[in-house]
A and B are shown apart, each in its own frame.
Chain A
Amino acid sequence: MRVVLAEDSALLRQGIELLLSEQGIEVVAAVGDGEQLLRAVAEHRPDACVTDVRMPPTFLDEGLRAALAVRARWPETGVLVLSHYVEERYAIDLVNTNDNGVGYLLKDRVSDAEEFVDALRRVAAGETVLDPEVVKQLLAGSRQRDPLSTLTPREREVLTAMAEGRSNAGIAADLVIGTAAVEKYIRSIFVKFDLQQEAGDHRRVLAVLRYLGA
């Protein structure tokens, strides 16, 4: 497998280069910034490239933008992005523009040579590799976005009763509250699930389906 490596720290660049060659991977070019990365990829057409996020000249997300450019121009080249920090926003950027052939790892994962090389091969083969930390953050993010978690305990009870097929009057009797209160809870659930009043939709059923699907 042929790889282009972009990393501005000479120390790390050398380390990664040695590690890859020991694992039988040919590093065809090792460069220091995003601009050179694009040129090296254009010249060598590698199977994959490995890049740092923060690189000169801006030291912001230079490497990430170069990675996205590589994916856009040479879809057959996988990109593996390394960073000291794992930010889910960078991962989302990567995954959004191209849903495979990308990877995003914490830099220190590189120290496990087999794991790193495995990730690189998978990215080159068109798979997506995300650092466990990123996955953790993404899951936490989706947990926050999950409308079920925004329900109050009472609304949850009402929704559960709805799923059991109870009518408003039945729910009111079960929970010992008035039917007006039940209607208020249901309206609130519709708002939280973003269910608009539209002809042809049974919001009650949709809400229950949302509940069961979650």
Chain B
Amino acid sequence: MTWSPPALPTRAGPKQLTEYIAGRATGRARTDARPPREVVPGNPLRALASPVLWRASIHLALDGLVALAGLAVLVVLVIAVCLAPAGLVGLPVTVAAGWALFRLAAVERARFAVTCGLELDELPAPVWSWRLAKSLQSLVHNFCTWRLIGYFVLLMPVAVVTVVGVALIWAVPLTLVLLPAYYRGLPGGQAQLGPFVVDSLPRALLVAAVALLVGAVLSPLIVKLLLALDTALAVALLSRPRGMELEQRVNDLTESRARVVDAAEAERKRIERDLHDGAQQRLVAMSITLGRASSRLKKSGDHETNKMVEDVRRETLSTIAELRNLARGLHPPVLTDRGLAASLSAVAALAPVPVRLDVLVEPRPSSTIEAVAYFTVTEALTNVAKHAHATRAWVEIRREGARLDVKVGDDGHGGADLAAGTGLTGLADRVSGVDGRFRLSSPVGGPTVIEVELPCG
């Protein structure tokens, strides 16, 4: 079974994102607020007056046509599959028949919606593409294909019952009701109706009355019964199964979470860029002007004023340094540029305890995964510096196929606790945001080891 979600921008901007989610939310609300299914009224008089009964009858009468169309598609499909060894002929015909099968199902769902007010959830269609093999694979793997084949196979006997049934329940009472009118023209002036012989006008009138009564009471009931059979089949095989609904919801959520994480990462990058292009540049420009002022004052011999300007310049420089650390903490440009090893070497160098760094990440994972790995290490090392009383720490990052293993350890006194509300909780949250796994081992007395697995497919 392959359910292919609609193609989405991989890195949606925040605005796009809200719009997309909002759009999806309203879409879902619409399917939930489904109109109640139309029901043939129980009261025969009301039933006969209700358009529902007549639409249902038309629906049942049309079953035969749909069943015939289904039969045609299935026959073509079977022939195509038998021709499949011939490849060139069988393949496109199989795909075309598969496509027709899903189109017919759509028509059938529309028919149910119009004639019975029954809204069936759309089935996930296979991915149609000009590459036949791909379409075929998608068709075969989509288990809804098999449900549809089952539907149209079962529809054949069901349609026989419904078409014949609906014809009989309307035709027989109507014919009998007309009996008095034909009475004169009956051969031999009499007719045999089962054990009864109709040979006089009053009898013919009696039969007509009984037929009218029985027809009016029974016909709606039988229509209801036949329709229930038809509907049950459609709900069972033509509608999207419940489990699938849930599965798709999980897919949607996984996807939207990935988009949220990506968007947050993009946002961090953007803020870093803004700081870099804005505040940082301005402050540097300011410090340069202050530096120029200072050297002029030095030349003019105004040492008092020069000292003031120098103070301001130094203050500016420390602000720049603070801003730099802030921006670097958001998203270090060298991470985008040169990857984990390069960006972490600076982090290790600036750590208060010696850090042994061992990073082997080839090929590079997505920028979001790189960022999460980077922050795992920086956060862990910050914790080491703050809480662990360690003399040394080590970092090991390895890419194992579709998995990035990040390990950070120290020789401190241990006892780190996720529940204690340190940065570790945020770290674990961030890892779980990309479907990663977080493990912490920190017995009292040490050592502390953090192990993180990040998916990088």
Mask, B160-180, CB within 8 Å of A = 1, is 000000000000000000000
The verdict on B107 contacting chain A, using a C-beta distance below 8 Å, is no
A19/B281 in contact, CB under 8 A: no
What would 5 more interface pairs be, CB under 8 Å, given A61-B338, A108-B317?
A85-B332, A89-B334, A108-B287, A111-B287, A141-B348
Which residue of B is nearest A114, CB measured?
B295
- Give A contacts to B, CB under 8 Å: 9, 11-12, 14-16, 18-19, 22, 54, 59-61, 84-85, 87-90, 107-108, 110-114, 136-141, 143-144, 149-150
Q: What is the number of residues of chain B that contact chain A, defined by CB distance less than 8 Å? A: 43
Contacts of B357 in A (CB 8 A): 144
Residue from A18, A22, A84 whose CB has the most chain B CB atoms within 10 Å? A84
Query: How many Å from the CB of B143 to the closest CB on chain A?
Result: 46
> Across the A-B interface, how many residue pairs have beta carbons closer than 8 Å?
105
A84/B276 in contact, CB under 8 A: yes
Docked Cα-Cα span, A144 to B341, in Å, equals: 14
The verdict on B56 contacting chain A, using a C-beta distance below 8 Å, is no
The verdict on B313 contacting chain A, using a C-beta distance below 8 Å, is yes
B349/A111 in contact, CB under 8 A: no
Mask, B337-355, CB within 8 Å of A = 1, is 1100011011011100011
Contacts of B291 in A (CB 8 A): 19, 110-113
Q: A12-B284, A84-B280, A87-B342 are in contact. Are A140 and B292 (CB under 8 A)?
A: no
B337/A61 in contact, CB under 8 A: yes
- Give B contacts to A, CB under 8 Å: 273, 276-277, 280-285, 287-292, 294-296, 313, 316-317, 320-321, 324, 327-328, 332-334, 336-338, 342-343, 345-346, 348-350, 354-357
Some 10 contacts from A to B, beta carbons below 8 A apart, are A9-B277, A11-B281, A12-B288, A15-B289, A60-B337, A89-B334, A108-B316, A108-B317, A111-B316, A137-B349
Which of A9, A18, A60 has a CB less than 8 Å from the CB of B281? A9
A88/B281 in contact, CB under 8 A: no
Contacts of A144 in B (CB 8 A): 348, 354-357
A111/B281 in contact, CB under 8 A: no
Contacts of A136 in B (CB 8 A): 349-350
Which residue of B is nearest A16, CB measured?
B288
A22/B334 in contact, CB under 8 A: no
Docked Cα-Cα span, A89 to B355, in Å, equals: 17
Contacts of A88 in B (CB 8 A): 345-346, 349
A137/B346 in contact, CB under 8 A: yes
